Structure 1
Amino acid sequence: MGDDPVNLNEYQELAKQALPKMYYDYFAGGSEDQHTLKENVEAFKRITLRPRILVDVSKIDMSTTILGYKTSAPIMIAPTGMHKLAHPEGEVLTARAAGACNVIMGLSSVSTCTIEEVASSCNGVRFFQLYVLKKREISAMMVKRAEMNGFKAILLTVDTPKPGRREADIKNKMIAPQLKNFEGLVSTNVEDDAGSQIEALAARTLDSSLSWKDIAWLKSITKLPILVKGILTREDGKAMSLLSLCN
């Protein structure tokens, strides 16, 4: 029992021991010099709680609602890709864990389990993360599949007009597993000696012309709420608020 992890850092160390280096580097790494990754960690460390004394904490309830859906805590499982690199059941197992903990799961477009597999795995509230592709009909198809399979919202990723240059993936010659949601729709066979297969695939398929007007396009093809994922500045936050008011 003394070897069981007791905090997130120890879980990360276990992952480093258990996973092939290529896969660990993919999950743990960031782009370029990883400045943003390091700054995110440091920014989190700078958050300080201000405790208030003599408050009755004998019964603590962290539950809340997100878009009207009850959740056990004000957190979500963020949409991350390729879970089968870490476990053979992939995103299906993640969905079951989220359901067991009564928290909302975001399913990535680049998951290694299909929308349908995750939807049928267990009861739970799930949102679907969307990359807009150059072939808009494929993105529209993904939205419809999510809607038909009970997903409650679309998480539109807007901060990736171009894929980041992930240097660890380049050095490791990282190869993408089969992205199940795109099976038969997008070929993952990419020849690119200058970078990783994942980076080359993203560069070939992502629509770098994505702009504010495309939110209206997305609203026109779905009745689901749309959450914009990746707003990084105050100015864009204000623009998004104004757009919401106008619609």
Structure 2
Amino acid sequence: MRGRRRRQAITLRDLREAARRRLPRMVFDFVDGGAEDEFTVGENRRAFSDVAFRPRVLVDVSSRPQAVTVLGRRLEMPVILGPTGLARMVGRAGEAAAAVAAQRFGTVSVVSSGSSVSFEDVASSVAAPQWFQLYPWGDRATIRALIARARDCGFGAMVVTVDVPVVGAREKDLRNGLTVPPRVDLRTGWDVLSHPRWLAELVTGPKVTFANFTGLMPEQRTTSGLAAATAGLLNPGHTWADLEWMIAAWDGPVLLKGVMTAADARRAVDVGCQGVAVSNHGGRQADSLPAGLDALPEIVAEVGGEADVLLDGGVRRGGDVVKALSLGARACLVGRPWLYGLGAGGTAGVGRVLEILRDEIDRTLALIGRPGVGSLDASAIRVRPGRGWVDSPGD
């Protein structure tokens, strides 16, 4: 990311706009869009606007450490680069860019099992062990093979995503004709050809595909729609018994991602998960779900004393991270933001995302009179009256 453009990116919104200009519409919509009417996408952002700070004055905030411990690992800032698939569609470095940037800032990236850069190539790009994400794919043989490869790569934790039994209806992708790999045809021609720098990277770089499935299934020889390419890998029949089997097969720290109720969080901890990520998949799967931030307090109340609770979804400011931590989260996962950075400026752009969030967290802590993230609790915030949802009797 060139120096002048890097300095112009003051906020994550700036990086989003830079990515929007640089990427074809179908690729930007793949990153930015959500399922169906995108109600849940909006809820994730709205929830943060319903929380305000309660600043204290004349507090010594000359030191404001951000380090946290998640799944036994010390992170220098409470932000983790979350798992996203097919990142090479956004920038040539793909998921390796997240690993490199995370290492630089003392945190960690979670490499998706649906990534466009293989586990091995991501692991070899950095010295610090990363984490890996696993969907409950079609059969145990496939899952066992992926877990074995992740173990051989030295990954430090497994993140199991359980909110995708089938592919959500991302209607923008369908209307845009997004395929894997992206192709130029009458439908997408002008969109692609009007972004020559992106097209040059696509043509000269590695093929955009699910890199971790090489050798596990017949090689994909034709271009197919994104939903069709993904749907054939999923299995909606998986249950808690399958999760217990995955935990035993991995035999290491496990975070369950996609939890939105206290009951599911309790069961996750009881079967052996060391952490849960409160997540509605960024609004990309089921629509009409509440914001992750709205679900966070009940899950913290249920398992916060026994497991690490993370928040995923809607974070666009360092202040959002501070709000989530005040509500009991140990750290936040971010997905779209690092893809904005990748689209705007490659690996340097991803680094700029973490730099912005780190600086905004630091500044917010100082301005609200909190000497570090360890001092955050519910007394640091005010919640708008009437915020939240009322569960039906019996829930």
Q: Does the residue aligned with 2:235 lie in a helix, a strand or coil?
A: coil
Matched, 1:136 2:137: no
Q: Does the residue aligned with 2:109 lie in a helix, a strand or coil?
A: strand
Matched, 1:175 2:175: no
Alignment partners' CA distance in 1, 2:222 and 2:261: 34
Matched, 1:64 2:68: yes
Alignment partners' CA distance in 2, 1:19 and 1:191: 20
Report if aligned partners of 1:127, 1:152 keep a CA contact under 8 Å in 2. yes
Report if aligned partners of 1:154, 1:225 keep a CA contact under 8 Å in 2. yes
Q: Does the residue aligned with 1:104 lie in a helix, a strand or coil?
A: coil
Report if aligned partners of 1:25, 1:169 keep a CA contact under 8 Å in 2. yes
- Give runs of aligned pairs for residues 68-79 of structure 1, distance below 5 A: 68-79=72-83
- Give runs of aligned pairs for residues 139-218 of structure 1, distance below 5 A: 139-176=143-180, 177-186=208-217, 187-188=219-220, 197-218=225-246
Alignment partners' CA distance in 1, 2:269 and 2:121: 35
Alignment partners' CA distance in 1, 2:179 and 2:162: 24
CA displacement 1:178-236 (0-9 Å, x = unmatched): 111112323445787xxxx2211222220101111112211231222111110012221
Alignment partners' CA distance in 2, 1:191 and 1:103: 36
Alignment partners' CA distance in 1, 2:31 and 2:151: 28
Match of 1:6 among 7, 10, 17: 10
Q: Which amino acid aligns with 1:98?
A: A
Match of 1:122 among 98, 120, 126: 126
Distance verdict in 2 for CA 1:171–1:144, change over 3 Å:
same
State the TM-score, normalized to the length of structure 1: 0.91
Q: Does the residue aligned with 1:139 lie in a helix, a strand or coil?
A: helix
CA displacement 1:73-93 (0-9 Å, x = unmatched): 122111111121121111112
**Residue 160 of structure 1: how far off its partner (Å):** 0.7
Distance verdict in 2 for CA 1:220–1:242, change over 3 Å:
closer
Q: Which amino acid aligns with 1:7?
A: T
Alignment partners' CA distance in 2, 1:182 and 1:110: 8
- Give runs of aligned pairs for residues 42-61 of structure 1, distance below 5 A: 42-61=46-65
State the TM-score, normalized to the length of structure 2: 0.58
Match of 1:83 among 81, 87, 91: 87
Report if aligned partners of 1:103, 1:125 keep a CA contact under 8 Å in 2. no
Let me know the Cα RMSD of the aligned residues.
Answer: 1.9
Report if aligned partners of 2:244, 2:272 keep a CA contact under 8 Å in 1. no
Alignment partners' CA distance in 1, 2:172 and 2:63: 46
Alignment partners' CA distance in 1, 2:41 and 2:165: 18
Matched, 1:38 2:42: yes
Alignment partners' CA distance in 2, 1:39 and 1:70: 31
**Paired-residue identity, %:** 33
Where structure 1 has 5 or more consecutive residues not aligned to the other structure, the ranges are none
Ranked by relative contact order (alpha carbons within 8 Å, sequence separation 6 or more), the top structure is 2
Report if aligned partners of 1:147, 1:224 keep a CA contact under 8 Å in 2. no
Alignment partners' CA distance in 1, 2:125 and 2:173: 31
Q: Which amino acid aligns with 1:155?
A: V
Report if aligned partners of 2:110, 2:131 keep a CA contact under 8 Å in 1. yes
Alignment partners' CA distance in 1, 2:252 and 2:270: 20
Q: Does the residue aligned with 1:123 lie in a helix, a strand or coil?
A: coil
